[in-house]
Amino acid sequence: MQPADLSATDIVAAIRQGDLTAVQCVEAFLDRIARLDGSLNAFLHVDRDGALATAAAIDARRKAGRPLGALAGLPVAVKDALCTADLPTTCASRMLAGFRPPYDADTVVRLRAADAVIVGKTNMDEFAMGGSNENSAFGPVRNPWDPARAPGGSSGGSAACVAADMAPVAIGSDTGGSIRQPAGLCGITGLKPTYGRVSRRGLVAFASSLDQIGPMARSAADCALVLETIAGHDPGDSTSLADVVPRYTELLEQPLTGLRIGRVRDHYADGLDPEVRRGVDEAFAVFEAAGATVHDVELPHAKYGVATYYLIAPCEASSNLARYDGAHYGHRAKPGEGHRAESGGRRFESPLVEMYCRSRGEGFGPEVKRRIMLGTYALSAGYYDAYYAKALKVRRLIRQDYLDAFQKVDLIGGPVSATPAFRLGEKTGDPLAMYLVDLYTVATNLAGVGGISFPCGFTKGGLPIGFQLQGPALAEPLLLRAADRFQRLTEWHVRRPERIA
């Protein structure tokens, strides 16, 4: 029995039944990480000793007949934006290089309580700002389907490690598509839950009104298994929802007969790759064959989604990242000569101001600086109403579009991204082109609803094509059920990259 060939659901069952030990399972995945990650760079930190010790303790408890958690022995990779007390949390930034938080994120607490085994922290775009995972201060992640191509971002490390079978499950975060887009480009399944369904406590903030944690795995069934553990109310997060968490895995069997899926005609505008369009059309046909009906719907303000997102998110980032000043934690520049020192032609008024400026200048990468400057400008006196306040009004219109559409259909389907995975370096010189990779995903976050991405085909060149479903608030049972039914009728999600042994 090779653990890398098993689903997360099968791994948990095999360990519980004694057909596989937790140590055997965890060691198998750690060995794959050691063998493969040198060429993919999906992990920033691997906890081999800690993971094996946790697995051994789980085996001892099972042997003694003691109760086990719902995810007992399941290896899980965690995006490096979630706090872990026993591992560094860097957000792939030199600003937080070597930082060890004093506590675990709520999601990590829940995973540990369920006896999941955290094998390491995954690479990402710095502070989750990016769509290609090329903004990491510790090098880009490479797509397992073609190492010359990007895995998507910002949860690119989480997507790549699952696609390469270095972990059966990973945790990502999604601010404007950062779970769904890399899942689509790497040929796996990624769920962005309703805002507040999973606690954000311990997630290093990028844009607090948009960020959401979610699972990434091979299948919708495995995402459902993990979501049952990490979802739920957290008194430590004021935005956490108090609604009861359903048994997602028990709701997957229901048929799709009568399900209404919306198709947005604007998704078929110029720029949509013909092969992606073909894959999306074929996915709609699969759903129709399964008993669903497809209806055209309109999201008239979705065309303003990217512009709205890239005002709101940088504004919130400007505020959230103000805490990284070199005074309390994170990178601190070496002492200079105070007011006599100059940097880039600028004379500092005091040693303190110099320390702030140099620390932030040295600690943050170019994309983070760009977004901080965008946000600070849009929030400044004289521009707040013209930019940020107006973006909030458009956000409300986008949300209303979704509310209106969900009066007519149950879910909305369409592409995750306009193209398959693009080459590393292809878009780094054009920030606007990079921002447009979020074209089909940002509105989900602006509206606060849920979305799931899964593979619906492959290009002639062997690259995955992703399909996205979006649903109303707290419609995760329906999203997972629809994606699971699609995966029972197709085999796209079971394909493995030929380049990865």
Count of alpha carbons within 13 angstroms of residue 123, beta-carbon side: 29
- The pLDDT assigned to 501 comes to 59
154 is catalytic: yes
178 is catalytic: yes
Per-residue pLDDT band at 176 (split at 50, 70, 90): very high
For strands 464-471 and 411-415, give the pairing. Answer: antiparallel
List 7, 132, 173, 178, catalytic entry: 178
Write down the pTM of the prediction. 0.96
- The pLDDT assigned to 330 comes to 86
Q: Kindly state the average pLDDT of the residues 335-357.
A: 68
| C-alpha–C-alpha distance, residues 482 and 480, integer Å | 6
Examine the pLDDT at 233 and tell me if it is beyond 60. Answer: yes
Examine the pLDDT at 349 and tell me if it is beyond 80. Answer: no
Examine the pLDDT at 262 and tell me if it is beyond 70. Answer: yes
For strands 213-217 and 169-173, give the pairing. Answer: antiparallel
Q: Kindly state the average pLDDT of the residues 132-146.
A: 98
Q: What is the pLDDT of residues 393-431, one digit of tens each?
A: 999 999 999 999 999 999 999 999 999 999 999 999 998
Higher pLDDT, 334 or 212: 212
Q: Spell 18-45 as b/e; 16+ CB within 10 A means b.
A: eebbbbbbbbbbbebbeebbeebbbbbb
List 7, 79, 240, 453, catalytic entry: 79
Q: What is the pLDDT of residues 274-296, one digit of tens each?
A: 999 999 999 999 999 999 999 99
Which domains does the chain show, CATH number per domain? 3-250 (3.90.1300.10), 304-381 (no CATH)
SS3 content of the chain, % helix, strand, coil (to 5): 45, 15, 40
Per-residue pLDDT band at 341 (split at 50, 70, 90): very low
List 132, 154, 359, 453, catalytic entry: 154
Q: What is the pLDDT of residues 440-466, one digit of tens each?
A: 999 999 999 999 999 999 999 999 999
**What percent of the chain has pLDDT above 70?**
97
369 is catalytic: no
User: Which element (helix H / strand E) includes 414?
Assistant: strand 411-415
